Structure 1
Amino acid sequence: MKKIITLSLLSALAIVSAGCAQEEAMNDNDETTEGEETELNNNEDNNGNNNEEPDSDEITDENDELNNEGNEEQAANEADDEDNASEEAYQPAEPLYEVAGPENNFIVRPIEGSGADEEVVLLTIDDSFLSANFQYALDMAEILQEHDANAIFFINGQLLSSEEEQDRLRELHEMGVEIGNHTMHHHNLSELSEEEQREEIVKLNDIIEEVTGERPRFFRAPYGVNPEYTQEVVEEEGMQWMNWTYGYDWEPDYLEAEPLAEIMVETPLLGNGANLLIHDREHTKDALADIITGLRDKGYEIVDPALIK
C-alpha cells in the first residue's frame, strides 16, 4: 500500500514539473511570436488587408465619408431633378405674329385668330460683327435688357473665325436676343453664283449653330437684295426672310444720336407692325434708349422676336 502511494506522489511531481517546463517554453515562444505578429500585421496594413476591427475614430471617419458621399449623390440627384423639371417646364413661345411680304413693307402682324396686339413694332439691328469698327452689339443688348425689350441682331460671319468674336457672339446669344443671318461677307447676293449664295447663307448658319447651339430663324440679305435662288435656300433652311419698313441711321442727316432718335419715332412711316432697321453703330447705340422710350410713348410695344412665326 505504501509503495502505491509513493509511486502516485512521484507521478504527480513529474506531471507538475513537466507542466512548468512546458509553460516556460510557451512563454519563450510567445515573445518571438509577438514580434512576428507585429511585422505581419504591419504588412497586412500596408496591403490594405488588415481584418482587425477598427477603433471608434476609424468608424466615425468612415461613416462621415459615407454620409458625405450620400449627401453628394442626393444633391446631384436633386440637381438632375431640377434640370429635368426645368426642361419639362420650358416650352417655346407660341407664335403670335408673322412677317408680311414686300407688298406690305415687311411689317409684323398678328396671326389670324391669335388675338395679339396690333400696336407693336419690330426692332432689327444689322451689320453686327461686320468689321472691327462695329463693336456695339453687346452694349445695345444691355440697353434692350434695361428697357425690357428685344430685337433681332442680324450677324455677319467674316470675323467669326476668331475665338474672341465667337465668345462675343456666345455672350450676345446668352443675353437672350434673337440671332439672325446677314450672310458671311455682306456681298450683294445678285452678283454671286448660286453656289456662292448658298455658301454665304448655310456656312454662317453652321457657325452660329456651332457657337450658340441654335440655328438662325431669320434672314436678311445685304442691301435688301434677295435673288430667287437665295429665297429657295432660305426656305430650305427653314428661315423667314425679311427686309424692312424704314431706317435712317446711314443717312447724312441722322449720323448723330439725337436727330436719329427723333426721326425713328416721328417718321410718317411708323405704324402698326413697322419693321425698324438700325445698325451696329455708336450713334445708333447712343440713340437706342430714346428710340425705345419714344416708341412706347407713341403707344407701340417692342415685339419679342420669339413670338414671330
Structure 2
Amino acid sequence: MSTITGERALCMLFYKPYTEENVNSLAEYLRKEDLEICYTDEPTEPVLVHSLSITHNPFRYRTYVCKKTLEPTKDNEKTCILNSAQIILLLNTVYLPHDPENSDLYENKVVAMKEIYCTALKYSDELDAKNLNSFMKWCSYRKLDFLQVETKRKIDEVDDKKTTRTRSLYALKDDYLGKDPSKYLNKWPLRYSFVDDVADKINNYLPSYQSYIKKLKEEGYTIIGYIRKSPGKEPDDRRRQLLKTMSLNLKERSLVDVVFASPCSRASDPVQSRDQNQHPLLDQIGELFYKV
C-alpha cells in the first residue's frame, strides 16, 4: 500500500513544488494525453503509463491513494465489503501506532475504540453481530497494530463524570466536505475520502493479482508454490492438515500449478539441504505436493 498521495507523486515526477496549482496543471496534462501516474515496486519512484496499460496489467502498475470523490451515501451504507483478513489490513493502514512522517495522508489524533469499531463496521458484514466489547476482544486476539499504544482516560465532553479510554494514533485522514463544480455544479456537498480509496484497493487487490497470474499462464509460464513447516511437537495428522491448508490457499489465491513442500525444516536451513531424507508425510499427502 503506497504511503504518499498521487498528487504528491505527480509533483515529484515532474520536479515541481507540491502546490495545488502545480497539481491541477499536471493533472490536466495527464488527462489530455490519457496518461496515469503509478508505480511498480517503490511508491517514491513514480512512472507514467498509458491508462490502458494499467487496465491491462493492474497488478504490475499500482496506483496511488487519492482523494476519492463520492456522492453522499445513506447512513450505515457500505461502500465495499471486506473479509476479516482485509479488515485487519485496513485498520492497520488507517490507524498507525507511530508517526509515518506523512502529513499528506495522516494526522495525529486522539482515537476512541468506538471510532475504530465504526470504521470496521462500515466495510464489513462479518462484524455486524459484534458489540463494542466483543470487537475489542476480536482486535486483541488478532494483535492489531494500534494496540501497541497504551490507552489513556479522557473526560467525556458531555458528562464530566464519565471517562473514555482513548489512544493517540496517527490516523489516515478520512473525509471532509467539499464540492466538485466541474461535475456537479455545486448541487450538493461531496465527501473526499482516503479511507474509502484504501478500502477499494484492498478489496480489488486479489482479483488484480489473479488477473496478472492468469496472463502469465497464457504466456506459457508455470506457477510454482512452496510451503514449509518448522520442526515441532504436533502430531503428523495435524502437520499434514496444516500443509494441506497452505497448499490449498496457494492454489486458490495464487492459482499455482505445482506446490513443493518441505514438511519439517527450519527457515534458516539452506534450501538444498531441506528434507534430504524423505519425510513419511510426503507419501501421505499425495497429489497436492511435489517434495523438495
Give the TM-score taking structure 1 as reference length.
Answer: 0.20
- Which structure shows the bigger proportion of residues in strand conformation? 2
Q: Which has the higher contact order (CA 8 A, sep 6+)?
A: 1
- Which structure shows the bigger proportion of residues in helix conformation? 1
Structure with bigger gyration radius:
1
